[in-house]
Amino acid sequence: MKLRAAILILSNTGFLDAWFPSLRPIRSFSQLREATSVDNKPYLNPLIDSIQPSKTVEIFSQVKDMEANGIQVTSLCVGEPDFLPAPAVLDALAEAVKAGDTRYTAVTGTLALRKAIAADLQRRKGVKYNPANEIVVGNGAKQSVYQALLATSGVGDSVIIPAPYWPSYPEMVSLAGSTSVIVETKAETGYLMTAEQLRKALNENPTTKLIILCNPSNPTGGVYSKEQLAELCDVLQDYPQVKVLADEIYERLVYDIDECPSVASMPGMFSRTMTVNGFSKAHAMTGLRLGYVAAPAPIARAITTIQSQLTSCASSLSQAGGVAALEKVSDEEIESNVQLLKQKRDYVLAELSTMPGVKVAVPPQGAFYVLPDFSYYGDDDTQLCLDLLQEQKLALVPGSSFGAPGTIRISYATSLEELAVAMTKLRTFLEVRQK
């Protein structure tokens, strides 16, 4: 009765008319119930209809369901290293538990972790951040990306995203009320956006407020060199209103090159760059959900405000592990894992090179993915992946979900033994298709 009375009071006072114009005809509880349900289904925010679920998560869920029913599946669909975090990280986690380090931390993270992050960025990237107000620790890099988007783009704004892209980028842009501008790149150039493409996109989309640059790239493994980044940054000098969200979560996993340069380190870019990184990839701390964004103080403050109303702080235990990862895990330990990943990359590339109709234009130089062209077998890469899963019990992710139809993403962040099984299954599947 109280709810019904409240609805009628709000209606009669004009509150519903002012704030919920779609509910103007409502003058009773029964009318409200009818207006907020369709076929007895609960009313949901219309924004949900514009958001696509993650295809990677969807396929991974199918894999888990199949495994739960006793079906053995070979999965190369998730970007998760097969090695454990370094012993120093595991020890730090155990010590934090024993010490009762289980309380809330500051929203931005512990000062110890923020200092460790700042020291690491200065040592390896030559970029100086103030740990007091320019670093925000979050529950994984994914949260950090989304909050950076929310802080710097909104309704009526455009966000430039080079394709192929991580599938969450366009969906996050939609959630922020902005519009994605997809810039198609070419396999022949390693799927890297050129300065000419960037300038053209900016000229054609004057409402652009942000560019998302993933370096190294998921899903291609492409890496922008310092010279290529400099060319993009030179273009941006003519568009001072545009910021850069630099997703550098894979920056420690590079092959055949010395380093992956940071956008914030380029001349004139610090004040307009948000650098996102984390501990899931190089440190194999995926389930611990720990990431961060480093940005100029005004932007970091805005991101902190958003996070304070969403999740507050990241796990205190994970943060203790993060400090150990940055202060106690040597570069040599990480490099040994990089060399193992390179060995796996080379194995997969060698296998793919002998499979009929499969093309890899430019070998990946970073991350742990390869994005071969399978268009020889038709345009429907999603159906191809579904057939692979059903016929060979091999889980891969269709490239169309990354903005690259006709391709399939393969993650080689698993054991060589598992990769051998996967490549055999893939070869068998393709040979049957070719006959």
Q: Determine the pLDDT at residue 1.
A: 45
**Do 358 and 240 lie in a common domain?**
no
**Do 302 and 235 lie in a common domain?**
yes
**Do 183 and 111 lie in a common domain?**
yes
Tell whether 1 is covered by a domain: no
Q: Which of these three, 329, 346, 370, is where a domain ends?
A: 329
Alpha-carbon gap, residue 82 to 185, rounded angstroms: 30
**Do 308 and 380 lie in a common domain?**
no
Q: At what angle do helices 297-308 and 141-152 cross, to 10 degrees?
A: 110
Lowest mean pLDDT among 56-65, 200-209, 274-283, 366-375: 56-65
Task: Return the bridge partners of 244, or none.
Answer: 211, 273
For residue 191, the domain's CATH number is: 3.40.640.10
Q: Whole-model pTM?
A: 0.88
Helix (H, G, I), strand (E, B) or coil at 383: helix
Tell whether 126 is covered by a domain: yes
Tell whether 2 is covered by a domain: no
Number of domains in the chain: 3
- What is the per-residue pLDDT across 37-87, written as a single tens digit (0 to 9) for each? 556 778 888 888 888 877 777 777 888 888 899 999 999 988 899 999 999
**Do 77 and 92 lie in a common domain?**
no
**Do 117 and 257 lie in a common domain?**
yes
60-92 core/surface letters (b: 16 or more CB in 10 A; e: else): bebbeebeeeeeebbbbbbbbbbeebbebbeeb
Owning domain of residue 391: 50-83+332-431
Most distant CA pair in the chain: distance in Å? 74
> Has residue 136 got a pLDDT over 70?
yes
**Do 121 and 249 lie in a common domain?**
yes
- What is the per-residue pLDDT across 141-171, written as a single tens digit (0 to 9) for each? 999 999 999 999 999 999 999 999 999 999 9
**Do 135 and 36 lie in a common domain?**
no
**Do 37 and 133 lie in a common domain?**
no
Which residues have a Cβ under 8 Å from the Cβ of 302 and sit 6 or more positions away? 151, 152
**Do 275 and 380 lie in a common domain?**
no
Which amino acid makes up residue 232? Answer: L
Of 208 and 3, the structure prediction assigns the larger pLDDT to: 208
Give percent of the chain above pLDDT 70.
Answer: 91
**∠334-315-116 over CA atoms, to 5°?**
45
Q: Which of these three, 329, 353, 378, is where a domain ends?
A: 329
Tell whether 71 is covered by a domain: yes
